[in-house]
Amino acid sequence: MTPIKLIIIFSLTLITTKILKLCFSAINARQNRKTAVGFFHPYTNDGGGGERVLWCAVKAIQEENPDLQCLVYTGDHDATPQSLFDRALDRFGVTLLSSPKVVHLYKRKWIEETTYPHFTMIGQSLGSMYLAWEALCKFTPSYYFDTSGYAFTYPLARLFGCKVICYTHYPTISTDMLSRVRQRSSMYNNDALVAKSIWLSQCKIIYYTIFSWLYGIVGSCAHLAMVNSSWTKAHIEKLWGVPDRIKRVYPPCDTSGLQVLPLERSVEIPVIISVAQFRPEKAHSLQLEAFSVAIKRLDSGLPKPKLQFVGSCRNKSDEDRLQMLKDKAIELNVNEQVEFHKNVTYKDLVGLLGGAVAGIHSMTDEHFGISVVEYMAAGAIPIAHNSAGPKMDIVLEEDGQQTGFLAFSIEEYADAIFRVIKMSETGRLQMAAAARKRASRFSEQKFSDDFKAAVRPILSRVSR
């Protein structure tokens, strides 16, 4: 037998052995799975709307079925049941009925975008399968609940015998992303080099088309998919092709705690607040440039407004992005009017919202926009991006009264900022009151009620 044939036989034997080993692991895990809900949320310290959904979902499950154990799969190695319980309360004002069990993951680097300089989506998606394998081998629950959007883990969870539930904030890929590539528009998810090249754009279209097909297959493995907005629902229904398993459940917004804040605000130095993680898609630079333009339009005798950036940093990339914003504020000569608040507590966030006359949001195709609802509930007039969630679900008229402003370009944002600052106190209070009433549609109680109604049929059937 030739050396080449020996190598081929050895390789095939090795691959077959590995596959059999994986299958036996899955079969063994299926037989030993526990009656519990495992929440797949690798980053439990990101401080965003996704983390709020996690804790509100855990609380809702605990209320719906107190005997059902809840656990969280996390890559944060310092996380403990008590620290997560405390974080839910301190950061989001959510009081869990009991501390969740913690399963630590050590393969999280495989879902980090820095691991994949190119083909990031498929890299992170395949990496999530590897991470989920680690999670499910360590603890196999009856219910696998993904709250972070890792759809490629769903077939794997089903292989382990789990009922798969997910709360999808944003489709990993959408027809809008494909349209931008076809139009060769440069954005955070479409590099300028690709946008300038016809050949590279065509290659990316093929890549996106194949990925969207795969995304549809894995997504259809969910037994129940909850989505957070009309925009997300339309995209997920089209991509996954299982409309009967998709329920729209608006995310939990802290409207009750914020609605007690007085609508009257000090206008000696008008404050405009921006609440968002320091991520590229949040487009903080646009807000800074629009603020600079608006200031230049003000009469010299009027007090200059203040812009407060409030957000969290997940990693060094976010820290670098925050520093770039600080440098840009100096470059635009508005640094004396701009403040940066990083990783603030929930209590401090409420205090900052209570002093703002307006809140600014600028992410294109924001799936929902929890921060926009928080602005409205707190009495800050929203200035939001004219797309997706804010446009379709949130900044709509209430009883015939305008509830805020929608903008797209720097000029439109600057114009909205200028109009809020120049608005009469009576006009501002009328709009703020209408916005607050509108925000009451997206409360934590509403989320809890709709969430429980969606999961109840699934939780009532435990397959052992």
Q: What is the DSSP string of 308-358?
A: EEEE---SHHHHHHHHHHHHHHHHTT-GGGEEEEES--HHHHHHHHTT-SE
Helix (H, G, I), strand (E, B) or coil at 264: coil
Segment 80-129, tens digit of pLDDT? 999 999 999 988 889 999 999 999 999 999 999 888 888 888 999 999 99
The strand pairing partners of 34, in sequence order, are: 141
Would you tell me how many other CB atoms lie within 10 Å of the CB of residue 455? 25
pLDDT at residue 22, rounded to an integer: 59
Contact (CB, 8 A) for 50 and 148 = yes
Is the confidence at residue 18, as pLDDT, over 60?
no
Tens-place pLDDT, residues 365-405: 888 888 999 999 999 999 999 999 999 999 999 999 999 99
* Contact present, 312 and 342 (Cβ < 8 Å): yes
* 32-to-25, 36, 103, 142, 371 alpha-carbon distances in Å: 11, 12, 16, 10, 42
The SS3 assignment for 209 reads helix
Report the distance separating Cα 307 and Cα 325, nearest Å: 12
Q: Which two tokens stand for residue 108?
A: 């999280």
Instruction: Please name the residue that has the structure tokens 């603890």.
Output: 139
Residues in the chain: 464
Residues paired with 381 in a beta bridge: 358
Mean pLDDT along residues 433-451: 92
Does the predicted model carry a pTM greater than 0.85?
no
What pLDDT is recorded for position 10? Answer: 47
* pLDDT value of position 184: 53
| Residue 89: both structure tokens together | 């309360």
Does residue 354 have a pLDDT over 50?
A: yes
Residue 411 in this model has a pLDDT that exceeds 60: yes
Percent of the chain with pLDDT over 70: 87
Question: Is 56 within 8 Å of 94 (Cβ atoms)?
Answer: yes
The one-character DSSP state at 159 is H
**11 pLDDT more than 50:** no
Residue-wise pLDDT tens digits, 228-285: 999 999 999 999 999 999 999 999 887 778 899 999 987 788 999 999 988 888 999 9
Handedness of CA 167, 319, 348, 261 (dihedral sign): negative
CB–CB of 359/383 below 8 Å?
yes
- Output DSSP code: residue 17: H
Average pLDDT over the chain, rounded to an integer: 87
Instruction: Please state the φ and ψ torsions of residue 408, each to the nearest 5 degrees.
Output: -130, -50
DSSP notation for 76-141 = -TT--HHHHHHHHHHHH----SSPPEEEE-S-GGGG-GGG-SSSHHHHHHHHHHHHHHHHHHH--E
Q: Model confidence at 14, in pLDDT bands (50, 70, 90)? A: very low
Two tokens, residue 380: 């800050």
pLDDT at 242 (0 to 100) = 95
Q: Tell me the pLDDT band of 1, cut-offs 50, 70 and 90.
A: low
pLDDT at 448 over 80: yes
Task: Give CB contacts under 8 A, 24+ apart, made by 362-366.
Answer: 362/282, 362/283, 362/284, 362/286, 362/287, 362/407, 362/413, 363/276, 363/281, 363/282, 363/283, 364/187, 364/281, 364/283, 364/388, 365/174, 365/176, 365/231, 366/390
